[in-house]
Structure 1
Amino acid sequence: MYKDIVQHISSCINCRKNKPSRRKPDGHLQSIEPSRGVWERLAMDYVGPVPESKSGNKYFLVITDLFSKFVVTKPVPDNTSITAARFLLYDVFMIYGVPLEIIADNGSHFTSALYESLIKLV
């Protein structure tokens, strides 16, 4: 009987169209005001995982200036908050300076206490 029910549901077009979604609904998109100058507003995210490199890197950290489209990227071994914080401190802030705003998604690597503390310090 179970097989009959499963077969009926999988072949029933109305059942497929009207079944409840088990997926979390997508968040609402918010517009981003255009930047008025270089290094004012940056966007940051992880890319990956990609095939592991010889040096053990599986991800890329990418930061883009939304005004000039200048990109800073670095291969990294993981996608943790400590890696993101080190990248910002040593590869972005110490070389290019501190921007007015950094936009990132709500990934745990960008919402952790460590990352938040670094942002407050600078």
Structure 2
Amino acid sequence: MNKDIAEYVGRCLTCAKVKAEHQKPSGLLEHPEIPLWKWEQIAMDFITKLPRTSSGHDTIWVIIDRLTKSAHFLPMRETFTMDKLARLYINEIVVRHGVPLSIISDRDSRFTSRESIGKTKSSNGA
């Protein structure tokens, strides 16, 4: 019977038009403001699933200054922990450019996990 119902609903034009959405509607897109200073606002993303290098790296962490479009390409392993990413970020970006006012990234699980949110709050003194 389930098969018959699924087949009927699959061919029903009315059913297709009134189908309930199961996903949360996405928010409105916002244009981020133009930064006033270099490295004040950055964007970052990961390039993954690359062939492994002789040193074991298989991912590139791309960190871009939104004003000048200059970028750092940091080799890493996809399995790096949040602690290792934080050390790499501090040693390669913060030491050279300071702490940015804002960071734009996709919602990569490395940044949205409970562990990383907790580390971000504790490093900001919250």
Deviation at 1:76, TM superposition (A): 1.8
Preserved contact between residue 44 and residue 61 of structure 1 (Cα < 8 Å)? yes
TM-score computed with the length of structure 2 as normaliser: 0.74
Deviation at 1:88, TM superposition (A): 1.5
Q: Are residues 74 and 31 of structure 1, via their aligned partners in 2, closer, same or farther at CA, if it must alter by over 3 Å? A: same
Read off the aligned partner of 2:34 and give its amino acid letter: P
Q: Tell me what 2:118 maps to.
A: 113
Percent identity reads 27
Deviation at 1:74, TM superposition (A): 1.3
Q: Tell me what 1:29 maps to.
A: 29
Q: Are residues 34 and 17 of structure 1, via their aligned partners in 2, closer, same or farther at CA, if it must alter by over 3 Å? A: same
Read off the aligned partner of 2:52 and give its amino acid letter: S
Q: In structure 2, how many angstroms separate the alpha carbons of the residues matched to 1:25 and 1:56?
A: 40
Read off the aligned partner of 2:94 and give its amino acid letter: F
Number of equivalenced pairs: 118
Which digits, 9 at most, give the CA deviation of each residue in 1:70-110, with x for residues without a partner? 0112122136432431222011112x221441313454533
Q: Which runs of 5+ in 2 are unaligned?
A: none
Residue pairs, 1:12-23, within 5 angstroms: 12-23=12-23
Q: Secondary structure at the match of 2:74?
A: strand
Q: Secondary structure at the match of 2:44?
A: strand
Q: Which runs of 5+ in 1 are unaligned?
A: none
Q: Tell me what 2:41 maps to.
A: 41
Aligned CA-pair RMSD:
2.4
Q: Secondary structure at the match of 2:98?
A: coil
Q: Tell me what 1:10 maps to.
A: 10
